[in-house]
Amino acid sequence: MAVGLNSAIRFKSALRGIYFVPNILGGLVIGYIFSFIFTYILPTVGNVFHIGFLQNSILASEKYAWIGVLIVGVWQAVAMNTIIYISGLQTVPEEVYEASMLDGASKWKQFWKVTFPLVMPFVTINLVLSTKNFLMVFDQIMSLTKGGPAQSTESISYLIYKNGMDGGQFGFQSANAVIFFIVIVAISLFQMTVMNRKEEQL
């Protein structure tokens, strides 16, 4: 997607702006929009066209509600990830591509042998941010399911909020939040160390 939006296509700037809209709206707003879609629009479509798996809201399923949360989270996160990759692609000098073309490299080889190694630092950034967002998912759960049905979509962040605000465990959950932050930092540092080694190998 980033390669396509970075190529010489018409209305490139407009397409980038449209593609970035999900990241601007915010998790809660997008969550409420998708909650309406999953709860009313898709079941209506399923009933009209007799599509069995759409007739019931996915958010009401203890087994599949997490898929709805995942769809919303990924749809929102991909916008920022793509912008970061586009920034990385724009740092690759045009002279490098020209030299590879003179050597007879195909577009496929140019991507894997030239582009990918040079944008590897941006891959690292996206990996760290994506992992952090996955571990800290909260807005989507709050607006879509509130941890339900039957606590099937509760995340660590949501549990800390729920037990702290609703359960009155302010001190205990504050400590949990600090520990959770340390765990995320440790995982991020580990990822950066591993990916930096990969960058050096490339």
pLDDT at 15: 72
- CATH number of the domain enclosing 118: 1.10.3720.10
Domains held by the chain: number = 1
pLDDT at 167: 84
Note the Cα 148 to chain centre separation in Å: 21
d(CA 54, CA 133): 28
pLDDT at 100: 87
Q: What is the pTM of this model?
A: 0.81
Residue 3 in this model has a pLDDT that exceeds 80: no
d(CA 125, CA 21): 21
pLDDT at 111: 87
d(CA 45, CA 55): 8
Residue 109 in this model has a pLDDT that exceeds 70: yes
Which residues span the domain enclosing 90?
2-201
Task: Identify the CA nearest to 191 among candidates 135, 119, 126.
Answer: 126
